[in-house]
Chains A and B, each alone.
Chain A
Amino acid sequence: MKRIDLEFDLVVIGGGTGGPMAAVKAKEQNPQLKVLLIDKAHVKRSGAISMGMDGLNNAVIPGHATPEQYVKEITIANDGIVDQEAVMAYAANSFDMIQELDRWGVKFEKDETGDYAVRKVHHLGSYVLPMPEGHHMKKILYRQLKRARVEITNRVVVTRLLTGASGEVVGVMGFDCRTADFYVIRCKAAVICTGAAGRIGLPASGYLMGTYENPTNCGDGHAMAFHAGADLANLECFQINPLIKDYNGPACAYVTGPFGGFTANSKGERFIECDYWSGQMMMEFYNELEGGNGPVFLKLDHLAEETIGEIEHILHTNERPSRGRFHEKRGNDYRKQMIEMHISEIGFCSGHSASGIWTNARGETSVPGLYAAGDCASVPHNYMLGAFVYGRLCGQSAAAYCADTAKGRVDDGAIAAEQARIRAPLERSDGLTPFQIEYKTRRLVNDYLQPPKITRKYEIGLRRFDEVREDAEAMVATNPHELMRAMEAHSILDCAEMAARASLFRTESRWGLYHYNVDHPDRDDANWFCHTLLSKDAEGRMQMRKKDVEPYLVAIDEEERNAYQRLRVARSAEAA
């Protein structure tokens, strides 16, 4: 285990979607800046979009939607708990980013005259822009990285940030997952773009890596931000997604919806009342799944052959190309039968939900010199395009910060401690395997943390996590690859505990299924119309506090705000 020391101005952690954009934009702003993009996989095919993406879910394109309308919809979808300035920073930059990606060679669907072929999924604005050839995305990003002369280091797992005397970022540490070499990289600023925490829960199949998210995205960024003293926001607002049963890939309502496909119950009927992709929608999904009308299906069998052919082309070549292979083995045919769906394991992912490392409209976290973009940061419902927009904002903010900042002193004690922590599993010849620790943690998450949330179960869960933490001190790794899994297991444990503590703190129910608390089943705006922040206290433990919702830029009138409530009432009246 060699030690390798490097020096850069800016280190971008994670080379999936937001990371490459942050690195390129920082270099564009200041070509003199020394920028390193570091990834635990290979940037060529890393992150949530390793095989591309089939479309934009939240394109704000003039003539089809306005930034104000978008901000309003996201505010309502998140039950009011949003920093509208941060959502607006996305919406106002959305179209410009689409045009830049278009110039870079990303292909968006256009009609026969060259106008963007925007589709409508929600009832108010139209935000969906398909990308039938979206599988080139990573290649295009890599070309831009080369053009901007960003340095790239692959297969290095970043584990911790180094902070200076005033808590500011002064470096990052990690190790090579093939050689176990220990890396100490001094820098002035860092951008975390590590994606979702998608390995907290266990998928229904029981296969450890059969997760909804790319399993590399296991919450490393959330954990390192916590240990560096950053605030994390609204972690009780879990991500739970509708997906194809067992396959665990998205059911792609955004792709099939504009073609006429929909989510149906066992009678083949539409049942979702909610207009927005939100916890409320997932609650309706969950109720149907568990109720007498379940299971739930993706219904396409009423569509024309030509339409199904087009859907198959998009779904089976982009994002999750193994989908066709899965269906084939099962004998599934979109033309002949509905496809069984299920809900995913829990996770943290602001791409579809609203939790993550707290950031403002400039991508700044609460730690000086630390920025975050994409699924790991707190700006809600950002999807892929939001990762790009915030990648750009973070790159620009970080470049400006670097210009005014000198390199800070690194703490040799902290470096030695981290090196010892990383080395420990390799030095043991006996103990528990990373697989065992991870499996048990995630199984406990399913047992005790999967909504509906019950206080007593959460308390038991926390006790059990403590036990696993003690066991994790005996983890053994026989090679650098297993060492990577061992370090990931620590991140997963951290995220599991964060999920539990944040959920226990908010003693109300909000965001539909994402935070449905059986002991506090009602929404309590008087006490809980606020963000929650999780951070590290003086003893290194997790502490919770409230944060006021920032003043709205776009007013939400009573009628709109109550749209959900009315739907819920209508539904229960029907049931009665």
Chain B
Amino acid sequence: MTIISTSIAERLVSEDAEVRRLAVIDLPYSDEDDIVPLVLPRLADSDANVRTEAVRALEGFEEPQVVAALAPMLLDTDPGVREAAGLVLAEMKLSESAGPLLALLTEAEAEVRMLAFRALRALRVAEVFAPAMAALSDPDPGVRREAVGVLGYLRRSEAIGHLAEVAAHDPDPDVRRIAVGALGYTTEISVLPALTRALGDSAWMVRDEAAQTIGKLRMGPAIPDLVRAMQDEYWQVRVKAARSLGLLKAAAGLPALVEALAHPIGNLRKEAAIALGEVADPRAIPALEKALDDADPDVRKLSRLALTAIGLAQK
């Protein structure tokens, strides 16, 4: 149902900013096959709402001219335009799109640097490595967070020591947590101190991430630390530690896992039962048999599976 019958091309240059904005909104759903040339001029519109919609309309058009036109929108005077540009640029998939984004990494505004790093993460281009390393000491936590993310995706061994440093000492707990997760690309023994130290971090989310990452990397030497993490005041951390002890088939985890079978939170009892099956040590049999009468059906079921696994391992 159209009340105004003028063409979309005319509406795009209407005197009325709201009409221009509506035209931009309609454009991706119109009959126009190539909307890019029609939208690009609207990035320079005098009205911020029109610019915001123009940015959104270009989402997914990953052509060099579009990326080159969108990147400077992160410097727009209007926060809504900047936010939209950040979201759209974060959708970029092709490494060829990196150029205009790299140019923004030295901008004065922290928000711009943060959004540029975020957009560059999935592109995994070599040129972002040095700026990301430098940004690990950026005064802005948002920038540091995105820089850590970039390094996690790049998976380069030169970054390990620096990420470990961030994981241990960054003042922002969220940055520390992401740094711990970002270390999950290397099994080099040099990450061990960073991960074990993170198990004693003051923020539980960091400890949680560390317990999980140790399991993902199958870091055997961290088993004693995981056993200690089984006493963490947060049961969530204990769940992750139990999971990792299971993945590591850590016999040393046996007493702590057996103890966890009696914890009031069912989620933890369940994880302990799974882990005991993976450890497959017959000494767990009495505790697991007792857990066959647990009030929680998931714990009962998993204890049954664990007992079967232990039986198979004995054969």
Contact = CB atoms under 8 A, between A and B. Distances in A.
Q: Is B one of A's binding partners?
A: yes
Interface string A106-133: 0000011111000000010000000000
Given A123-B301, A270-B297, 11 more contacts: A111-B181, A111-B216, A112-B148, A112-B182, A113-B152, A113-B184, A114-B121, A114-B153, A143-B28, A270-B298, A304-B204
Given A139-B59, A142-B29, A149-B33, A112 B298 contact: no
A111 B275 CA distance: 22
B55 interface: no
| Residue from the set B122, B182, B239, B297 with the largest chain A CB neighbour count within 10 Å | B297
Interface residues of A, number: 32
| Residue from the set A44, A112, A262, A272 with the largest chain B CB neighbour count within 10 Å | A112
A44 B124 CA distance: 32
A140 interface: yes
Contacts of A421: none
A103 interface: yes
B162 interface: no
B297 A273 contact: yes
B29 A114 contact: no
A303 B28 CA distance: 42
A139 B87 CA distance: 14
A457 interface: no
A478 interface: no
B295 interface: yes
Nearest to B32: A146
A149 to B, nearest CB: 7
Contacts, number: 72
Task: Give the top 9 A-B pairs by smallest Cβ distance, nearest first.
Answer: A112-B181, A112-B182, A112-B152, A113-B185, A114-B153, A260-B267, A113-B152, A273-B297, A143-B60
Contacts of A68: none
B167 to A, nearest CB: 11
B93 A105 contact: yes
A463 interface: no
A432 B54 CA distance: 49
Interface in B17-32: 28-29
A405 interface: no
A537 interface: no
B282 interface: no
B291 to A, nearest CB: 14
A324 B302 CA distance: 34
A103 B93 contact: yes
Contacts of B265: 302
Given A113-B153, A139-B59, A140-B60, A271 B297 contact: yes
B109 interface: no
B158 to A, nearest CB: 15
Contacts of B178: 112
Interface in B206-261: 216, 234, 236, 239
B303 to A, nearest CB: 12
Contacts of A85: none
A105 B91 contact: yes
A307 B297 contact: no
A297 B123 CA distance: 43
Contact of B239 (A44, A139, A149, A260): A260
A306 interface: yes
B305 to A, nearest CB: 7
Interface in A143-195: 143, 146, 149, 178
A269 interface: yes
A28 interface: no
A105 B119 CA distance: 13
Interface in B164-183: 178, 181-182
A246 interface: no
Nearest to A563: B301
Contacts of B266: 262, 270
B28 A142 contact: yes
A7 interface: no
Contacts of A123: 301-302, 305
A275 interface: yes
Contact of B234 (A112, A272, A304): A304
A258 to B, nearest CB: 11
Would you call the interface of chain B mostly helix, strand, loop, or mixed? Answer: helix
Interface of B: 1, 28-29, 33, 59-60, 91, 93, 121-122, 124, 148-149, 152-153, 155, 178, 181-182, 184-185, 204-205, 216, 234, 236, 239, 265-267, 295-298, 301-302, 305
22 contacts: A105-B59, A105-B91, A105-B93, A111-B181, A112-B149, A112-B184, A113-B152, A113-B184, A113-B185, A114-B152, A123-B305, A136-B59, A142-B29, A143-B28, A143-B60, A146-B28, A149-B33, A260-B267, A262-B266, A270-B296, A272-B297, A304-B204
A567 B302 CA distance: 12
A222 to B, nearest CB: 29
B155 A113 contact: yes
A168 to B, nearest CB: 32
Interface string A298-332: 00001110110000000000000000000000000
A423 to B, nearest CB: 23
Contacts of A260: 236, 239, 267
B275 to A, nearest CB: 13
Contacts of A272: 297
Contacts of A44: 29
Nearest to A149: B33
A98 to B, nearest CB: 14
B118 to A, nearest CB: 12
Contacts of B184: 111-113, 115
Contacts of A269: 295-296
B240 to A, nearest CB: 11
B205 to A, nearest CB: 6
Nearest to B152: A112
Contacts of A304: 204, 234, 236
Nearest to B308: A559
A441 to B, nearest CB: 31
Contacts of B121: 114
B182 A113 contact: yes
Contacts of B301: 123, 273, 275, 567
Contacts of B60: 104-105, 139-140, 143
Contacts of A178: 1
Interface string A191-214: 000000000000000000000000
Contacts of B122: 114
B243 to A, nearest CB: 9
A115 B234 CA distance: 26
Contacts of A302: 265, 267
A259 to B, nearest CB: 9
Contacts of A139: 28, 59-60
A302 B296 CA distance: 15
Nearest to B148: A112
A567 B301 CA distance: 9
Contacts of A113: 152-153, 155, 181-182, 184-185
B271 to A, nearest CB: 10
B181 A146 contact: no
A190 B280 CA distance: 55
A111 B153 CA distance: 9
Contacts of B1: 178
Contacts of A112: 148-149, 152, 178, 181-182, 184
Interface string A565-576: 001000000000
Contacts of B298: 262, 270
Nearest to A140: B60
Contacts of A567: 301
B60 to A, nearest CB: 5
Nearest to B265: A302
Contacts of A140: 60
A245 B282 CA distance: 45
